[in-house]
Chains A and B, each alone.
Chain A
Amino acid sequence: MAMLAINDLHASVDGKEILKGLSLSVNEGEVHAIMGPNGSGKSTLSKVLAGHPDYEVTSGRVEFEVNLRMRNVLDMAPEERARNGIFLAYQYPVEIPGVPNSAFLRAAFNAVCKHQGAKEVSEEAFAPILKEKCKLLGMDERFIDREVNVAFSGGEKKRNEILQMAIIQPRLAFLDETDSGLDVDSLRIVSEGVNKLRRQDNAVVLVTHYQRILNYIVPDYVHVLYQGRIIKSGKKDLALEIEEKGYDWLLKDFVN
């Protein structure tokens, strides 16, 4: 059974239609890569999935499996989507001055605990959990005392997204251009982090321009998004082919 089923999704922002009938199905344990040139709708797809209020879904369905039942994601508030296991790693993580990373991470962790009927954890009980995750991702512990994303380098912000993912342990992680702006070392660290978090029962969708990250996180499927639709799907070889030939050979049949 599919974990995520997107069917003929149309969505617009400021009255302009960006997604024009997108369909995608993701199963447990899979890694999907969504590639495409600028302006094809990649980020819009991420935002729609997370429930950003600026994006309006005009038609189509998005369903996500919760306790073996498919639930309508579009009916859920953003926080409800997150608690049910949908995670978006932002392309541009937001800075939250004044709020310590540790307090933010604990609030997120407790939101999931509460949703699952588990006891919320105290600051003291959370500290070792946080420490362990930092260690798993090879992150400096000083990270957690800083204010959320404030004065973080580009690489640090992306790693902080993965730390959040490690804390929340989502079933579906949607990584929106997590590779952009990263140098080779950061890219490797971030990718290793994601790989360590992979399990049989979760799935990863990588949204990216470049094939680069796919050397580290190897996808089962590659999709090409163009003008708001998936115009081609294939195995990981497709990414290599795009790397070699660019997008033009795929797009020429689709120019409006």
Chain B
Amino acid sequence: MAEIVKESLTDRDYKYGFETQIETEFFPKGLSEDVVHMIADKRNDPPFVREFRIKAYRHWLTMKEPTWADVSYAPIDFQEIRYYSAPKSKKEGSGPASLDDIDPELIETFNKLGIPLSEQKRLTGVAIDAVFDSVSVGTTHQEELAEAGVIFCSLTEAIHNHPDLVEKYLGTVVPYKDNYYAALNSAVFTDGSFVFIPKGVRCPLDLSTYFRINARETGQFERTLIVAEEGAYVSYLEGCTAPMRDENQLHAAVVELVALDRAEIKYSTVQNWYAGDKEGKGGIYNFVTKRGICQGVKSKISWTQVETGSAVTWKYPSVILKGDYSSGEFYSVALTNNRMQADTGTKMIHIGKNTSSRIISKGISCDQSINTYRGQVKIFPSAENARNFSQCDSMLVGDQCTANTHPYLEVKNNSALVEHEATTSKISADQIFYMKSRGIDEEGAVSLLLHGFCKDVFKTLPLEFSIEAVKLLEMKLEGSVG
């Protein structure tokens, strides 16, 4: 407790806002079919990937930017963005041969972010893939994972070393036609992580990818694919940060999860992209498509997200419940402060029989921010005895923020049981004073309120993540309550 308090008093500003000075290779600004080919050339894409890109690009040209979310921002000029940027020391077209090849400057960058990559310092129990701008710079614990038969590497490496697997699953959960940003990502995606857990294997380590945007005027379009075969289990963690800059930067990622019979995937995110300053200047546009499919019987996919950053967020991690008796979960804490705008939630698509889903969403809006929950529960006629429970709570801090809740329920089978609960509460100065008059200081008071409000989500976070995530939330909330 004492340490947390100290930290939150001194580190109130965005401590990940630094920029790494490193020689970078990047494309000129702008997007065209030529640029898409250049990306494919650069990365030595096999034909199936190149084809996927071009189809996606051509389709993207026919699409319109979505405008239905409760967010507003200046139009994005897609010709003003660079679509490729990579530290120069990296060999072209393939992942790094070994961690020894990584530029020490990059190792230092990730050290500063609390992500040690070097052999001596790396975290035990967690294997990490570090993605810097458009490329993966290294993945730890490779040998240990290989022994268990687990593949965990950058998507680039996977495309070259396991093309059959990538071809089999790429774009099967989020097709390139899915939505505007998914199409854009499919055309220009650069790196991301690939995870494959073979039949019957319980992944011996937590897997983690850390995304770092560094280069100016560059978009980040990573793509992650996780496949868990029959009876496999994996827990995957994702973290992200970016330097503080006055201009906005676009991050449009795609994540696809596939769970076969009795497989379980647990996907946790702590999103802390730079959110812009108090006046709303700068920050990341976080337009992300995350979706998993419970393909097999009794499979399970669980999303947990702690959203604390980004100027604008547009993100709905979803589960398609296709296998009978499969289950999907979505646990979310989204905190917005200053002038942040977040439109986030989930979709639970029930297709198989006896499928179940659970949605726990906690939105905290502070200052002049806008925090929207948007969730869809869809029960297909085939989904006999489907069950859903949704709980969407909003907490307001101050009187200038906005919280919206948009639940969409579509039930096409009479045997379904769908429950939705929603509450709105307010942190008031009176509550803080009441606690202070019992000897509890402001940090303690905020922490109590936060834990009280978010406990159902916090308990689903992996331990390595939860301390950091809770600290991050306390720090941001305290700045707004005080």
Contacts and interface: CB of A to CB of B under 8 A. Distances in A.
A53 B452 CA distance: 25
A82 B438 contact: yes
Interface string A220-254: 00000000000000000000000000000000000
A111 B439 contact: yes
A99 B434 contact: no
A50 B438 CA distance: 10
A93 B434 contact: yes
A213 B300 CA distance: 60
A120 B435 contact: no
Given A53-B433, A96-B435, A120-B1, A79 B452 contact: no
Given A107-B444, A111-B444, A88 B452 contact: no
Contacts, number: 80
Contacts of B449: 96, 98-99
A100 B440 contact: no
B452 A97 contact: yes
A99 B427 CA distance: 12
B440 A107 contact: yes
Interface in B417-445: 423, 425, 428-431, 433-442, 444
A94 B435 CA distance: 9
B453 interface: yes
B448 interface: yes
B436 A82 contact: yes
Contacts of B441: 79, 111
Contact of A168 (B423, B428, B439): B439
A111 B431 contact: no
A168 B434 contact: no
Contacts of B440: 79, 107-108, 111
B197 to A, nearest CB: 36
A100 B444 CA distance: 14
B281 interface: no
Contacts of A50: 437
Contacts of A104: 435, 438, 448
Contacts of A112: 439
A52 B439 contact: no
A51 B423 CA distance: 32
A77 B448 contact: no
B438 A168 contact: yes
A131 interface: no
A101 to B, nearest CB: 11
Contacts of B12: none
A122 B396 CA distance: 30
B451 interface: yes
A79 B434 contact: no
Nearest to A150: B425
B444 A90 contact: no
A36 B387 CA distance: 60
B433 A96 contact: no
Contacts of A79: 436-442
Contact of B437 (A88, A95, A110, A115): A88
Contacts of B435: 96, 104, 107-108
Interface string B183-204: 0000000000000000000000
Given A93-B434, A98-B425, A147 B452 contact: yes
A177 B203 CA distance: 61
Contact of B452 (A81, A99, A111): A99
A51 B441 CA distance: 13
Contacts of A82: 436-439
B1 A115 contact: no
Interface string B447-482: 011011101000000000000000000000000000
A236 to B, nearest CB: 29
Contact of A78 (B437, B444, B448, B452): B437
Interface in A59-94: 77-79, 81-83, 88, 90, 93-94
Nearest to B450: A98
Given A53-B429, A98-B452, 5 more contacts: A82-B439, A96-B435, A103-B452, A107-B438, A164-B438
7 contacts: A79-B436, A94-B431, A97-B423, A97-B425, A100-B452, A107-B438, A120-B1
Report, nearest first, the 10 A-B pairs whose CB atoms are least far apart: A98-B452, A111-B439, A99-B452, A82-B439, A108-B438, A94-B434, A78-B436, A83-B439, A79-B436, A98-B453
